[in-house]
Structure 1
Amino acid sequence: MFSAARTYQPTAPTSVPGWTADFVDNFNGPLNVKTWGRYFGGTPTGTVSSYDATNAAVTLNPTNPTDGIFQLNTHFANGQWSSAGMSSDRGFSAVGGKWVIKAKFDRAYGVGYAFLLYPHGGAWPPEVDFAEGTFGGPSIMATLHYGSAQQNFQIQRWLTKVDMTQWHTYGVIIGANQIDYTIDGRVWGTVQTENTPKVPMWLGVQAGVKDCARSTGECLSSATPTSSNISIDWIAHYKQV
């Protein structure tokens, strides 16, 4: 796990052309709970798994205790499914800019995930789900939510044939009138709209076992493994310079 993570962007760049980092977490020590809040309790809509904060933790390299990977585990135990999620709401949010997550997934039929941006303060929408689907892909959906709580509009983009069991960077760039979705630094989808988020947004990562009665596509079945992980090497936000 750790050797593979080292081979592709082993740490978050502090700057890229036209951008400089104003938030970086390489997860090279215990989880910073001043920034990250782990989800606990409740069964998210469309899932059959409840959040357990102990399923979200940093795993340190056994040969280098200053090298870590954050993992969100979904598993079945004692007759129940549990999953994991966390957000940066308590420690960091930003208006616009570029968010990037370096991650890899176990292939897990029926286990869903989302990398998303949500408004600080909770007045929804807007929301940007910049990578969403099932563990391991191969398809990724991105969705912009805008409008009002009473009338929610959506604009979606799709990327196919991605081997998500390998390390990739998943990102989104929020501009004044445009959203770009990226993978490994390349733009794969663009939305041109005046309805981009104009308020501070925090980042959330979450997983859950999909309920066949309320979900489309892959959902819980005999093919769903009893344990699976999202592994995250780093998360960063950049502002334009």
Structure 2
Amino acid sequence: MSALCLLLASSQARAASGLPNGRIVLKSMNGVYVSAMNGGGSDVQIQGARPGAWEYLDVFNQSESWELWHGSQVNFRANDGTHFLQTACGGSWDLWDTSCGVVNASTTNQLGWETFTVEKLNNWHQGGKIHTGDQVALKAFNGSYCSALNGGGGTLTCAAGSAQGWETFTVEFIDPNGGGGDPGGDVPGTFTRIYREDFNAALDLSAWNPDSGFQYQNSWVTNENTWVGNGSLNLAFRNSGGYTTGWASLNRWNAPFIQYGKVVARLRVDNAPDVTLAALLWPRPGQGTYSQSHPCELDWFEDFDANHDGDRNPMGAFTHYGCGPSDAWETHTAPSWAAGTDWHEWSVEWTPNKLVYKVDGVVWGTVTDPARIPDEQMYVGFMLSVYNNRWPTVSQALFQIDWLEVHSWNP
């Protein structure tokens, strides 16, 4: 069989498996990102102001390794999980050609025109392996280089004869699926996804626990306020003769517990003054949660609405430590562009010597004090509440979880 036939057969096999090797974004020289418009099925522009859904690209490495090296041949898949980036005609040699060389994300194939070669442009003293933050060039199937024309703001086009400024991109690894990647901490290791829920069916009560039947501060928690609908897990606040709220967690007795790892979810919450909320990591029961040596929780998406305005901007992260009588916390404030009322991907990455809080792949908080980093097994929970001495006047509000992933950490 010819080398080309082998390449096509290998690519088609990976397309059938649907398993990417990693997930990245690509940033142009002027700081904007490569965007598969509408998340796929359309053209590819250099216009993303920050990493978001349209900027996430799944990487299919033809070496079947999550690692990227100088010369790696890859396919890029848009965020819809269906469409691949393709260079029209396999590339061009005229940067201003409006037909050939233009990149789109309108094909479901992984064949020749969907193949890109990654070349490392910096840090050669570190070898040919490509890391987060490295500068790279992309070559189309015909050998031409891909350009962010004018440094960004237009269509991705592969028609340059060499790699200059417009052909320079910065790689940012976002979510290495399939084992591997930079975990964000200073201790070597990798993240491996062990659980994902897309909330496309009724809540699996063998995996989830919708709490019910108790008072928390100024609201009554009931499972009637927790349900799956319209592709999301919904937690509701209701004001009808009293305040009721919804809580939900992965089953605290058989959850996918992690002792170091990563949690990422796509989240939003309604504007509702004096209604508070949090996405948390809680310690596994029976581990001495309230001892002085362990934090009691990690709140990686929280708003306690200190200004009583409910606008969910800014959101916060609260790393609790000490607990019991000496409970204290370290606070971080999310960027103002990531309002909690809009859909964003929020995450916490947890390694033995660092906590990293991110939104849409952008770091907005880190914790490095060893005394504040948990070292026990934890699990995921979501909650709405009304604090004591708060009196919301809105009739209803929703906290919505579009999807959730849990990753373990492997040293």
Quote how far apart the aligned CAs of 1:10 are.
6.2
CA RMSD of aligned residues (A): 2.5
Instruction: Please say if residues 283 and 379 of structure 2, whose CA atoms lie closer than 8 Å, have aligned partners that are also in contact.
Output: yes
Quote how far apart the aligned CAs of 1:147 are.
2.5
Q: Tell me the number of residue pairs that the alignment of Structure 1 and Structure 2 aligns.
A: 219
Matches within 5 A, 1:58-207: 58-60=228-230, 68-77=231-240, 79-88=241-250, 89-90=252-253, 91-122=255-286, 123-124=289-290, 125-126=294-295, 127-133=297-303, 134=305, 136-161=311-336, 162-195=338-371, 196-207=373-384
Structure number with higher strand proportion = 1
Higher relative contact order (CA 8 A, sep 6+): 1
Structure number with higher helix proportion = 2
Opposite residue 282 of structure 2, the aligned amino acid is Y
Distance 2:192 2:408 in 1: 6
Opposite residue 155 of structure 1, the aligned amino acid is E
Residue 407 (structure 2) pairs with residue 238 (structure 1)? yes
Decide which of 379, 385, 400 is 1:208's aligned counterpart: 385
SS for the counterpart of 2:272 is coil
Distance 1:148 1:158 in 2: 21
| Identical-pair percentage | 25
Opposite residue 219 of structure 2, the aligned amino acid is S
Cα 1:104/1:119, change in 2 over 3 Å: same
SS for the counterpart of 2:256 is coil
Query: 1:220 maps to what in 2?
Result: 391
Quote how far apart the aligned CAs of 1:72 are.
0.4
Distance 1:49 1:115 in 2: 18
Distance 2:406 2:243 in 1: 32
Decide which of 51, 57, 61 is 2:227's aligned counterpart: 57
Quote how far apart the aligned CAs of 1:220 are.
2.6
Instruction: Please say if residues 260 and 350 of structure 2, whose CA atoms lie closer than 8 Å, have aligned partners that are also in contact.
Output: yes
Quote how far apart the aligned CAs of 1:5 are.
11
Larger-gyration structure (1/2): 2
SS for the counterpart of 1:74 is strand
SS for the counterpart of 1:130 is strand
Query: 1:63 maps to what in 2?
Result: none
SS for the counterpart of 1:15 is coil
Instruction: Please say if residues 39 and 52 of structure 1, whose CA atoms lie closer than 8 Å, have aligned partners that are also in contact.
Output: yes
Normalised by the length of structure 2, the TM-score is: 0.49
Q: Give the gaps of 5 or more residues in structure 1.
A: 61-67, 214-218
Give the stretch that moved more between structures: 147-156 or 188-197.
147-156
Query: 1:216 maps to what in 2?
Result: none
Normalised by the length of structure 1, the TM-score is: 0.82
Instruction: Please say if residues 315 and 339 of structure 2, whose CA atoms lie closer than 8 Å, have aligned partners that are also in contact.
Output: no
